[in-house]
């Protein structure tokens, strides 16, 4: 295979239902494009036959470069594995394997790249998810932009095209808790947004659970905002102000009216209030300590079990799939 100009990266987890549709669209894109393109598919420890389908494809079509992780690491880490494996000399394009991100936008993205933009990111005009998820996304992006110390674009996800020099910087960033769209913004260079209408999944069910979305939101907030620490400081000042105010009222009642408040109501209020403040503070500090703990371990972000490049297993990989069936027509 010729050295690719563009690498298209798609992390996959249990996407056997959408896989044929994905490959059909990608094949059509590569056949119609004048660019030399490689497709980097990352299996993030799938439990269905996604890995088998990837193996069959990569061994018969050298345009597909497949990376198989040793277990499920999560979307952002799997995407990081794809970014590390990409060989595109000019740029890489990141898409979702469920085809909610149309790969056909490559030509428009590449046109902006030729105009001098190092990052071309997609801006979602409309989503096909339920109203609750749409509202949650809407609120999160606006809250994050308000509290972040960098200007993270609204309604933009990982779907983007980034230049090789931005990719090289991104691959050198050692964060254990990954929030790639924020890291991409932090790097800088010339960036532009391209609006598009986000489609629904072509097949299967969403793989991002509420817990995973919550963790992603945490990574965005704690990695790119000083707001949690500032919140502790302001909450502490507010709590002290309440305590001083209450002390003042008590002293006035004692010396002006000769009456001291009695009973457990006031005491109970003070105990619960300050206990709550302390627990919130410990929780926020603990979140930072936990991130430091995982970071200083120095473990690799991911472990690659197998890799197929140019139609062959790499020298360091082993044939971990028991059977290799004849490739199915896609």
DSSP 8-state secondary structure symbol assigned to residue 103: G
| Other Cβ atoms closer than 10 A to 159 | 24
Structure confidence at residue 67 (pLDDT): 92
pLDDT, averaged per 10 consecutive residues of the chain (330 residues), comes to 84 88 90 90 89 90 90 88 90 87 89 92 74 69 71 80 92 84 86 80 58 66 72 77 75 70 64 76 81 78 86 62 38
For residues 124 and 10, give the distance between their C-alpha atoms in angstroms, rounded to a whole number.
Answer: 18
Cα of 170 vs its chain's centroid, Å: 13
Give the model confidence (pLDDT) of 269-301 as tens digits. 677 777 777 777 888 888 788 777 777 877 788
Give the tokens for residue 284.
């926020």
Residue reference for tokens 């139609």: 311
Burial class (CB within 10 angstroms; exposed 0-12, middle 13-18, buried 19+) of 274: middle
H-assigned helices in the chain? 19-32, 50-58, 75-85, 106-114, 131-147, 164-172, 180-187, 210-223, 227-256, 265-296
């Amino acid at each position: 295979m010729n050295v690719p100009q563009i690498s298209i990266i798609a992390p996959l987890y249990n996407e056997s239902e959408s896989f044929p549709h994905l490959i059909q669209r990608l094949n059509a894109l590569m056949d119609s494009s004048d660019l030399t393109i490689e497709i980097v598919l990352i299996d993030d420890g799938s439990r269905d036959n996604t890995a088998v389908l990837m193996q069959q494809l990569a061994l018969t079509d050298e345009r597909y470069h497949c990376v198989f992780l040793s277990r499920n690491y999560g979307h952002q880490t799997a995407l990081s594995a794809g970014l590390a494996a990409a060989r595109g000399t000019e740029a890489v394009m990141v898409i979702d394997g469920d085809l909610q991100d149309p790969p056909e936008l490559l030509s428009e993205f590449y046109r902006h790249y030729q105009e001098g933009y190092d990052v071309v990111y997609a801006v979602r005009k409309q989503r096909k998810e339920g109203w609750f998820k749409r509202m949650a996304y809407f609120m999160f992006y606006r809250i994050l932009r308000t509290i972040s110390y960098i200007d993270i674009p609204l309604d933009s996800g990982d779907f983007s095209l980034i230049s090789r020099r931005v990719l090289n910087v991104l691959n050198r960033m050692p964060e254990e808790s990954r929030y790639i769209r924020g890291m991409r913004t932090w790097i800088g260079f010339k960036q532009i947004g391209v609006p598009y209408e986000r489609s629904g999944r072509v097949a299967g069910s969403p793989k991002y659970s509420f817990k995973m979305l919550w963790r992603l939101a945490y990574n965005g907030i704690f990695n790119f905002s000083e707001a949690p620490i500032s919140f502790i400081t302001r909450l502490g000042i507010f709590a002290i102000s309440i305590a001083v105010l209450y002390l003042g009222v008590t002293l006035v009642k004692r010396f002006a009216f000769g009456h001291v408040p009695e009973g457990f109501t006031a005491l109970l209020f003070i105990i619960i209030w300050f206990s709550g403040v302390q627990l919130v503070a410990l929780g926020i500090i603990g979140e930072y300590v936990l991130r430091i703990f995982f970071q200083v371990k120095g473990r690799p972000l991911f472990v690659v079990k197998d890799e197929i490049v140019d139609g062959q297993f790499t020298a360091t990989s082993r044939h971990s799939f028991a059977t290799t069936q004849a490739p199915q027509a896609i």
